[in-house]
Amino acid sequence: MLLDTEHLVRAIGSGRRRGQSPRWRRVEIRPVDLASGSYLQITTYDDTQAFTRNLAAGDDFDTALAELLAEPFGNWHVETDGSVTQLRVTKKGQAQVHVSTRGDNGAASQAPSRRHDRAKQRLLDGSDPYLRAVGISDRDGTVKPSRQAKYRQIEEFCRILAATVDAAIDAGQLRRPRADSPLRVVDLGCGNAYLTFAAYRLLTTVMDLPTRVVGIDVKEQARRRNTELAAELGSSDELRFVRGEIATAVVDEKPDIVLALHACDTATDDALARAVTWQAPLVLAAPCCHHDLQRRLRSAPTPSPFGLVTRHGILRERLADTLTDAMRATLLRLHGYRVEVVEFVASKHTPRNTLLRAVRTGSTGDPEVANEYARLTEQWGVRPRLAELLEDAS
């Protein structure tokens, strides 16, 4: 079916088989017509970006497709102009296949679209009521030119969150929610809650997952503003905001997902410490400024030969940023999480573009990692704030 490019509409591989991880989060295959001829377009997606290559008719289609089919994807969805084939690999490694004609699933039979210049698919369209309500889009549902950067940030966050939630549910690391037991999401230090609302809209409207979200911020003004907006959108029952300190705010139940998006300086540490204390299955944190370790580095002797770096203020700040997030990621690993540090959005849009993504595995800390962490902190003569908070909580 994949080799029959005259009838192929598209094919999508996604998910993963139990105990295995494909190189890509998702792959999409479709035929396209370019000015230079007909091609098979293969787009592979990691957690932050897409990579596209076009294979000409003379290229080795069989080898390229065989390599993709060998990846341990858990699901394949193949559309032709006459049928839709869906394959899912169960936890026991068995294949469940469903085939329907395009008329059976409500879609009219049609020739495949081979246009190369398709409009980019958006998770949250500009016409979404939330985007209009927060001023990202105008009344006609068009994203305002002055808000393009914010919209791009929202979209990239949604892509990362969607991929992470899907993978965690498929792997059994995050429970599959039900109407009577929705996902519980807490956003610590939510501020104006652009991404809090985005997470709620994505999980409920796009992914169709029953979800309740609580946003916590120290500012009463933010609580009132966000509460009014939730009421305006008709989401007050599932999306609420409370005033409180990150470290002490009370939530009704332990959350499944903890967000801490651009919480300033040690507020990120407060949020990560609470997530670990709650044993939250999934944590997404986008750190903001990193003043704490910068202060500590200034008062501690610089190990040789790094004095050549720290003598320059801007380089010392960047080094402190890197050390802070490296130590945070390591501490999370030592407390039972698998951690990835990924790019949130391109640095040309915001300098605060790092995202810590942590999935709880429950594994005990690796002694070798613990030793490396101890050597790192000893060499620099610093103890990060998160380490102090986790020790106080234990």
Question: Could you tell me if 74 and 145 lie in one domain?
Answer: no
Residues 307 and 384 both lie in one domain: yes
Q: Percentage of the chain surpassing pLDDT 90?
A: 36
In a domain, 144, yes or no: yes
The pTM of the full predicted model, rounded to 2 decimals, is 0.70
Within a domain: 59: yes
**Residue 123 is assigned to a structural domain of this protein:** no
Domain boundary among 101, 116, 137: 101
Distance CA 294, CA 299 (A): 9
167 with 236, same domain: the answer is yes
Distance, in Å, from the CA atom of 11 to the CA atom of 88, rounded to the nearest integer, reads 14
- Whether 176 maps to a domain, the answer reads yes
Contacts of residue 95, defined as CB under 8 A and 6 or more positions apart, other chains included, come to 87, 88, 89
Angle at 239 between CA 232 and CA 184, to 5 degrees: 165
Q: Which residues does the chain have with pLDDT short of 70?
A: 35-36, 47-49, 57-59, 102-121, 345-352, 394
- Counting the structural domains of the chain, the total is 2
pLDDT confidence of residue 115 = 52
Q: Let me know: does 54 contact 34? Beta carbons within 8 Å.
A: yes
Tokens 């879609």 correspond to what residue?
Answer: 107
Run of H or E including 360: strand 354-360
Looking at the structure, do residues 26 and 170 belong to the same domain, yes or no? no
CA distances from 190 to 67, 98, 225, 297 (A): 43, 43, 12, 29
Looking at residue 48, its pLDDT comes to 63
User: Model confidence over 177-199: pLDDT tens digits?
Assistant: 999 999 999 999 999 899 999 99
Contact criterion met (CB below 8 Å) for 287 and 215? no
Find out whether 190 and 243 touch, Cβ atoms under 8 Å: no
The answer as to whether 271 is a domain residue is yes
262 and 382, same domain (yes or no)? yes
Both tokens assigned to 329: 């990621």
Amino acid making up residue 183: L
Domain boundary among the residues 101, 120, 140 is at 101
- Same domain (yes/no): 89, 191: no
User: What pLDDT score does 126 carry?
Assistant: 84
- The domain that holds 137 is classified in CATH as 3.40.50.150
CA distance 127 to 359: 32
* In-domain check, residue 279: yes
Answer whether 188's CB lies under 8 Å from 177's CB: no
d(C-alpha 166, C-alpha 158), whole Å: 12
Domain membership of residue 329 as a residue range:
129-393
Is residue 369 assigned to a domain? yes
Say if residue 71 is in the same domain as residue 217.
no
| Predicted local confidence at residue 334, as pLDDT | 94
Residue 121 lies in a domain: no
